[in-house]
Amino acid sequence: MVITMPRGTQDILPEESKKWQYIENKLREISNNFCYEEIRTPMFESTELFSRGVGDTTDIVQKEMYTFLDKGNRSITLRPEGTAGTVRSYIENKLFAKTIQPQKLYYVGPMFRYERKQKGRYRQFVQYGVEVIGDESPKIDAEVISLAYNIYKMFGIENIKVSINSLGNPEERQAYNEALIKHFEPRIHEFDEDCNNRLYKNPMRILDCKVDADHELVKTAPKLLEYLGEESKQYFAEVLKHLDNLGVKYEVDHNLVRGLDYYTHTAFEIMIDNPNVELKTLCGGGRYNGLIKLLEGPEDKKGIGFALSIERLLLALESENIELPIEETIDVFIVSMGEKAGTYGVKLTNDLRLAGFKVQNDYFDKKMKTQMKIADRYNAKFSIIVGESELETAEVIIKNMENFEQENIKQENIISYLEMKLRGEQ
């Protein structure tokens, strides 16, 4: 029987992998400009971290986690999201004691959820996410949302908008949950099984229902903003004011609650306005002021963050017909003729690579015409031609593959010549 990859996973082959490398490098560059530092946490954690941190009423914990017992009979889960592990690390490593606060962190890595496979949604997928943990401010919320928003802009995706809402503090959420129970309870039998199960455990999640999103009770449900106190309303107004100042386009969505239990106050999603994209939500995040305390961290420390799927970013780029500026070239191809020249070519290839050039050569002693064709396939900027006569004069022929001009260069001058031509170094 032929062994195939597990359902819900994908092989990222070299041609596609170049796009991933470009995107990940660009995300790291943007993160650095915004003064975020990378954090790397384990791909598996104690199951309790997610059941407590993400929330045992969420679809992730109830249906989607890859959980198993290790050889020590401990319950372990492959991470389904990045925030809980980052907060765990923040607490365990006492990052709250660092001089610079808040801690501005980002991560890039695989996550795992057992969910129905569809375009842009996999059981192993890659997230880029940021977390700002420590102090709380509307300015921080606006910065985080602006970062997420501008990432897509920097990749050339213009047809996006931010959907935003305030979930209030725990007391306000409790009052709102009670109002939702009253609203839905008489006709909850008209909703699917998941919504029935959520009515008393987490009624806000009914507003996030995909099956019954068009039900009239969802459309006429009480608005969370009506249950916010003056302090929460003022905080939300300040966030919106800063977003206006930063030029971030947004709309307030009263039914936006997000899928994880740890959110408080600001919650947001970034949507793409393109009919060719099946999954409209590109990115989501929000403030989680109670999560640090819930995981036994300092009570006064607050957090906010977001995560985006690189798979969905790639789909968005495809749907907008945006080509990434990936350079499909090498610097030099070594063309060697004869056994001694071939031996010299192997050494020269290695020396040039160690000097920082992207170099390839022919391994199979093909004819010169064939080797030049291979150099063209690699889209080489220069070829270096060496034969027995060049070895005798301690020279090589360096040919510009674009204009076909060529020069004889002494062997000891090869690196300096290439540095001048490729890097502009004298």
Point out the annotated binding site.
81-83, 113, 127, 131, 258, 262-263
**Whole-number Å distance between alpha carbons of 43 and 111:** 7
**Whole-number Å distance between alpha carbons of 292 and 161:** 30
**Whole-number Å distance between alpha carbons of 47 and 68:** 9
**Whole-number Å distance between alpha carbons of 196 and 422:** 65
**Whole-number Å distance between alpha carbons of 368 and 372:** 6
Burial of 53 (0-12, 13-18, 19+ CB in 10 A): buried
**Whole-number Å distance between alpha carbons of 274 and 56:** 34
Evaluate whether 359 touches 334 at the Cβ level (below 8 Å): yes
Distance of CA 355 to the CA centre of its chain: 32
In 155-272, which ranges are continuous DSSP H helix? Answer: 170-184, 193-201, 216-219, 230-246
Evaluate whether 112 touches 6 at the Cβ level (below 8 Å): no
CA distances from 254 to 113, 208, 212, 406 (A): 28, 11, 16, 67
Closest of 328, 323, 327 to residue 155, by C-alpha: 323
* Residue numbering of the annotated binding site for L-histidine: 81-83, 113, 127, 131, 258, 262-263
